[in-house]
Amino acid sequence: MDRGISIPLVVSHERAGAAEFPTYRVFLMIKLRLKRYGKKREASYRIVAMNSSTRRDGRPLEELGFYNPRNNETRLDVPAIVKRLQQGAQPTDTVRDILRKANVFEQVGAGANLESSNSATVA
């Protein structure tokens, strides 16, 4: 799925017509991360897919699950998470740990590469 942003590239200052501006696509990295909500001191989190440059509580591309750290409740939309991981989305460290506990990486063909990319080996 193409989620690029079209940005006009100015070639010449003499011709200012809209047809003379070529465009190119900028691809932003998609991250799987936590979005905070709830009352003060009673935080819960939604696991969402967002552009890496979007603020923490900004509008997500897709909501993929729920995580409550107070009682370790987790609900995941596993097929949607697997689809995003196969498209190249990168989970944050906390989301990676949540997905590892839920054995989501075993359902992804390249799960070993994602799981070992940012985690240290325990001897």
Q: Given this model, what pLDDT does residue 52 score?
A: 86
Residue in the block written with tokens 């359902």 = 107
What secondary structure letter does DSSP report for 15? -
pLDDT interval class at 28 (50, 70, 90) = confident
CA torsion sign, 72 to 51 to 59 to 49?
Answer: negative
pLDDT interval class at 56 (50, 70, 90) = confident
* DSSP code string of 38-83: EETTEEEEEEEEEETTS-TTS--SEEEEEEETTTTEEEE-HHHHHH
Q: Given this model, what pLDDT does residue 118 score?
A: 46
**Non-local CB neighbours of 6 within 8 Å, separated by 6+ positions:** 23, 24, 25
